[in-house]
Amino acid sequence: MEVWSVGDRSIHLEQGDITRLEVDAIVNAANSTLLGGGGVDGAIHRAAGPQLLEECRTLGGCPTGHAKITKGYRLPAKYVIHTVGPVWRGGAQGEADLLRACYLNSLELADAHDIQSIAFPAISTGAYGYPKEEAATVAIRAVVDRLPRSQTVKNVIFALYSESDYQLYKRLLSTYL
Ligand code: AR6
């Protein structure tokens, strides 16, 4: 675990399964149906239990770059913020702006729900094929830009599944902060 300060807020790095984190909210890298899938989405639905899918069915999907919130059910986290990252199509299809919007809109929802700690996976970098270093740069910039004016969020956790992703974020955060 590593920690960086941004004013009186902080950014943490954790390696491992995001579903285990005891935070107010975890972010799901969902698809636009919000009806589940593989990767981190599958893991979150398995850990939260079937009530999560029931609530997701009431939401009517979610456009790319937007975010919607549900309860966390059996997760240690109180909430799940579902956001839909862009599919990587070479980088000239607005992917960076859409990915940035995922982080900003998730943080905005967190503020609206009095969330103090929120954990993000590396959105779009699995099934959606976004190159890892480019995605990590977008993620870190969005959080570093937005965190100082967040109302309630005090701690942002980047939850990286692989050791190599953890090391990538560590290197990039050390150059930014
Ligand atoms: N905890 C943290 N990170 C995880 C976990 C976990 N339990 N499991 C996987 N990752 P992906 P995407 C990492 O494919 O690229 C789904 O089917 C993984 O190593 O989950 O945004 C959705 O329904 C990678 O770094 O999400 C969509 O259809 C990161 O999570 C589609 O995949 C994101 O990989 C979304 O694709």
What does the pLDDT look like over 13-71, one tens digit per residue? 999 999 999 999 999 999 999 999 999 999 999 999 999 999 999 999 999 999 999 99
In whole numbers, what is the pLDDT of the chain averaged over residues? Answer: 98
Residue 23: its pLDDT value, please? 98
Residue 176: its pLDDT value, please? 87
**How far, in Å, from the CA of 58 to the mean position of ligand 1?**
23
**How far, in Å, from the CA of 176 to the mean position of ligand 1?**
25
Does 158 sit in the ligand 1 pocket, CB within 6 Å?
no
Three-class HEC string of the chain: CEEEEECCEEEEEEECCHHHCCCCEEEEEECCCCCCCCHHHHHHHHHHCHHHHHHHHCCCCCCCCCEEEEECCCCCCCEEEEEECCCCCCCCCCHHHHHHHHHHHHHHHHHHCCCCEEEECCCCCCCCCCCHHHHHHHHHHHHHHHHHHCCCCCEEEEEECCHHHHHHHHHHHHHHC
Residue 10 — φ and ψ, nearest 5°? -145, 155
Does 128 sit in the ligand 1 pocket, CB within 6 Å?
yes
Residue 46: its pLDDT value, please? 98
Residue 67: its pLDDT value, please? 98
Residues known to be catalytic: 41
Of 118, 161, 167, the one to substitute when testing ligand 1's pocket (max ligand atoms within 8 A of C-beta) is 161
Residue 25: its pLDDT value, please? 99
Q: Which two tokens stand for residue 58?
A: 């009431």
Helix axes 132-146, 163-176, angle to 10 degrees: 50
Distance CA 79, CA 113 (A): 9
Does 123 sit in the ligand 1 pocket, CB within 6 Å?
yes
Average pLDDT over residues 108-122: 98
Residue 1: its pLDDT value, please? 81
Residue 80: its pLDDT value, please? 99
Nearest CA residue ID for atom 34, ligand 1:
126
CA within 13 Å, CB half, 3: 7
Residue 119: its pLDDT value, please? 99
Residue 150: its pLDDT value, please? 95
Average pLDDT over residues 69-76: 98
Does 37 sit in the ligand 1 pocket, CB within 6 Å?
yes
Letter string b/e over residues 7-44, b meaning 16 or more CB atoms within 10 A of that residue's CB: eebebbbbbeebbebebbbbbbbbbeebebbebbbebb
Average pLDDT over residues 60-85: 98
Q: Are 84 and 33 in contact (CB under 8 A)?
A: no
**How far, in Å, from the CA of 40 to the mean position of ligand 1?**
4
Helix axes 39-48, 50-57, angle to 10 degrees: 110
Average pLDDT over residues 93-122: 98
